[in-house]
Amino acid sequence: MKPLLMTLSLLALAACGVDGAPLKPTANAGVSIGTGGISTSAGVGVRKGPLSVGLSL
């Protein structure tokens, strides 16, 4: 849990622009229904130009 919180904190710090130009935060969520039942997915990340870093939850 601690590494996850540290990663999210660093992403938030970079996204707010403290260290330079702000990065564009991204988020997504989904729900899938299939033969195995219902499943959910979520993800967060940051994007700057062609570089994108994300974390799927």
As a three-state string, the secondary structure of 7-46 is HHHHHHHHHHCCCCCCCEEEEEEEEEEECCEEEEEEEEEE
**Structure pTM?**
0.49
Task: Give the model confidence (pLDDT) of 5-50 as tens digits.
Answer: 888 887 777 666 666 666 778 888 999 999 989 999 999 888 877 7
What's the structural domain count of the chain? 1
Domain with 22, as residue range(s), is 2-56
